[in-house]
Amino acid sequence: MKRLISVLIVLLVVAALAGPVAAQGEMRPYRIVVVTHGQAADPFWSVVKNGVDQAGKDMRVTVEYQAPASFDMVAMSQLIDAVVASDPDGLVVSIPDPDALGPSVKAAVAAGIPVISINSGSDVAEEFGVLAHVGQTEYEAGYGGGQRMAAAGATKALCVNHEVGNVALDLRCQGFADALTEAGATAEVLAVDLADFTGSANRIAAALTADESINAMLTLGPGGALPALQALTGEQLLGTVLLATFDLSPEVLEAIRDGNMLFAIDQQQYMQGYLPIVYLTLYLENLNTPGAILVPTGPGFVVQDTAAQVIEYAARGTR
C-alpha cells in the first residue's frame, strides 16, 4: 500500500509538471545526464534507459545516457568527471563501487550539481550527499531470495556472479548465503563472464557435474539466467535443480511461466530510470526533494502465477 501511494504521488507530480509545458509544447531548459555501469544494449539496462528517455519526453527536459563499454570503474569515474566538467543541470549515477566512484560523485555534489543515485549505492547515498537513491537494498533482496529458495527445498546452492567486485552483486550473494545458512543450507559463489555465453554455460554445467549435491542456483541478472538455463537443459537437470534470478526479461518470464524457473526478484528498473528525471526536474523547478534518501523500487517477487501478466510489459521494454 505504501508503494502504491508513492507511485500515485509521483504520477500526480508528473501531471502537475508536464501539464502547462506540454500545452505550450516547449522544452524546459534543463539537461540531465545519466551515467551507469550498464550498457544500454544490456537487457536490464535497456529498460532503465527506456525509463530515462520516456521521463525526458514527459518532463520536456534533455536527457543523456552514458556508460563505459564494459564494467570498468576507472572508465566510469572518468565519464562522471567529464559530465561534471560539462556542467549539467542534474546528474544520475549508479554506484557499484563506492571506493572507485566516490570521489567523482562527491566532486559533482561539491560543484553544486544535484545528484540522484540509482540501482547500486543505497548504503553510501547519504554519505555522498546525493538527494536520493532510487532502487532496492541489495543485501535484503538477496536474503529474501535465499529464504524462498530454502522454503522450496534448497540444501546446497550456487550464487552465479557475473561481476565479482560489483559491491551490489556481492551483497546479493551475501544475503542469499546468509538466509540459506540460517535455514541449515549452504551456498557458494560461482564467477562467470557474460561476455562469453558458451563459456558461462559450460562453467555452470561443470560445477553441477563436479558436485551433484548442488540442488539450487541463483543468478544475478537475466544475462546469467540464460546460460544457467542452457546448462540445466544440457545436463538434463531442468526442473531438478531449483533456479531463480534477479531481474526480468521476456525469456526469464517465459521460463517462470513454464515452471522452469522458480522466481525472479524484480527491482522495477524502469522506475529507476524514470523517477530520477522526475525528481530532478521537480528539484530544479521548485526545489522539492523526496521525503527520504531511499526511494524503494523493490524487491518484489515474480512467480509462476504472476509471470504471464508481466510478459507483455517486459516485451515492450518497460519491465
Q: Which residues contact 35 (CB under 8 A, 6 or more apart)?
A: 66, 67, 76, 79, 80, 83, 91, 92, 93, 94
Sign of CA dihedral 269, 271, 276, 281: positive
Residue whose cell numbers read 524487491: 299
pTM score over 0.85: no
Q: Beta strand 216-219 with 156-161: parallel, antiparallel or unpaired? A: parallel
pLDDT, residue 164, reads 87
Asked if residues 204 and 214 have their Cβ atoms less than 8 Å apart, the reply is: no
Residue 244: strand pairing partners: 218, 263
Average pLDDT over residues 230-250: 95
The model's confidence at residue 52, banded by pLDDT at 50, 70 and 90, is: very high
Element (H, E) at 217: strand 216-219
Residue 223 sits at φ, ψ, to 5 deg, of: -65, -30
Grid coordinates representing 17?
Answer: 509538471
pLDDT tens string 165-211: 888 899 999 999 999 999 999 999 999 998 899 999 999 999 999 99
Round to whole Å and give the CA distance between 159 and 265.
14
Grid coordinates representing 155?
Answer: 540444501
Element (H, E) at 205: helix 197-210
Q: Where in the chain is the domain with CATH 3.40.50.2300?
A: 2-136+267-288, 138-266
2-136+267-288 classified as CATH 3.40.50.300: no
CATH assignment of 138-266, among 3.20.20.70, 3.40.50.410, 3.40.50.2300, 1.10.3720.10: 3.40.50.2300
